Amino acid sequence: MIKEEEYKKRRDIFSKKLKDNSIAIFSSAKPKIRSNDTEYPYRQDSNFYYLSGFKEDNSYIVFMKKDNIAQSFLFVQKKDAKDELWNGKRVGKEEAKKRFLFDKILVSKKFKKFKKKLKSVYEVDKDASANVSLMRLIKSKAEINLIKKAINITEKAHHRAMNFDKISKKEYQLQAEIEYLFKKNGSYSDAYSSIVASGDSANTLHYIENNKLFKDEDLILIDAGCEYQYYASDITRTIPVSGKFSQAQKELYDLVLDVQKKIIKMIKPNIKRSTLQKKAEVLLTKGMIEKGILRGEYKKLIKNHKHKRYYPHGIGHWMGLDVHDKAPYKDKNNKEIKLQKGMVLTIEPGLYISKDDKDVPEKFRGIGIRIEDDILVTKKSYKNLSSNIVKSIEDIEVISSQLPKNLEFIRG
């Protein structure tokens, strides 16, 4: 739980970045139509939530700075019995005054008039959203605890996926089991659309159909994470349908896992994300040469982007209020932002080999592997927040094969 004092502290920090004699305006997310008159579940805009902790739509935050003195205003939808009958209770102006530490609380119907009056006097600060995004790079202790909770729930789901009897089942049945564990353990929603990709489907990076029948000889790439109190987790594990990896699957899996471990060990303050990317590309390319997937000298292959045929994506991304957190990778001078204590990022190397790729040894065709963990940058090094989610071949095979199929496996 994040206390109201922390949201106020964020607004105070943001106010210091605000230009004098200017205003900044943040609007709540708008409800999104699913079809006709049905809507998707509402989720607040992440920047808006970061500054306020307020979850309702039709609301606004206004910052006003004059003579280097800043004020913050929250506009909320007024209480209306008819609207609440259909859409649920509103906080309303009076309750908001008690709960939220803004300088002033107003009703949303006054916003347009208020905005028009301010814009005639003050300049609109164009860097407002960028400044909030930059603030979101460094997580507070409370934010890290919420991310840990999301990962803890996701751990249960991934271990259950390993233990789940997949024979003669379809991908969406395993997806349902994963997402059931999310909700059973207190997650409001998935952090993103779950990927449950078996066999060659794992070679489609954003595969979400999840409708194929599992085949005993296939691997399953599961990229699934839940959201807890608006904070995301993002975990990928690759597991065998049968509970046992084939020799070819082991070879590629161990290559990806070894690369991931080496990249994670590199994480510390002042290292660049691009350094991690380049090292991952070198290690994966050398490994592919050893396996006969690529042929040639590794530096030349990388220079000509030949490795991207099998490893097309980045080594990782920021994570927080959004699974791909809206935080910059470069500063205002276009220089890459180095890792700092309190940042959270994913590390996710992978290899993707199409079943139709005749340029690689036949035994590797149709195999897609990704392994992804969520990493916190500490004062001198790192902490793997998702280290309890097993990923060695031995541990995966133990959970898949030796525990009763109707038990939920919880490590620790």
**Catalytic residue flag (residue 158):** no
Selected catalytic residue, list 67, 206, 356, 394: 206
d(CA 157, CA 409): 9
Selected catalytic residue, list 251, 313, 357, 395: 313
In angstroms, how far is CA 219 from the centroid of its own chain?
A: 23
Q: Which residues of 345-383 are buried (b: 16+ CB within 10 A; e: fewer)?
A: bbbbbbbbbbeebeebeeebbbbbbbbbbbbbbeeeebe
Selected catalytic residue, list 49, 90, 370, 373: 370
**Catalytic residue flag (residue 258):** no
Selected catalytic residue, list 5, 37, 356, 394: 37
| Inter-residue contact 219 to 368 (CB < 8 Å) | yes
**Catalytic residue flag (residue 394):** no
**Catalytic residue flag (residue 37):** yes
**Catalytic residue flag (residue 177):** no
**Catalytic residue flag (residue 370):** yes
**Catalytic residue flag (residue 4):** no
d(CA 62, CA 78): 17
Q: Which residue intervals of 292-354 are DSSP H helices? A: 298-303
Selected catalytic residue, list 143, 155, 177, 372: 372
Selected catalytic residue, list 45, 200, 218, 234: 234
- Give the gyration radius of the chain's Cα atoms: 24
Selected catalytic residue, list 45, 190, 200, 348: 348
**Catalytic residue flag (residue 322):** no
Selected catalytic residue, list 192, 228, 230, 352: 352
Q: Which of 107, 108, 100 is nearest to 53 (CA)?
A: 100
| Inter-residue contact 86 to 37 (CB < 8 Å) | no
Selected catalytic residue, list 324, 357, 365, 395: 324
CB burial of residue 69 (10 Å; 0-12, 13-18, 19+): exposed
The two beta strands, 226-228 and 231-232, are antiparallel
**Catalytic residue flag (residue 313):** yes
**Catalytic residue flag (residue 309):** no
Selected catalytic residue, list 190, 218, 223, 322: 223
Selected catalytic residue, list 317, 322, 373, 374: 317
**Catalytic residue flag (residue 307):** no
Q: Give the residue numbers annotated as catalytic, written as ranges.
A: 37, 206, 223, 234, 313, 317, 324, 348, 352, 370, 372
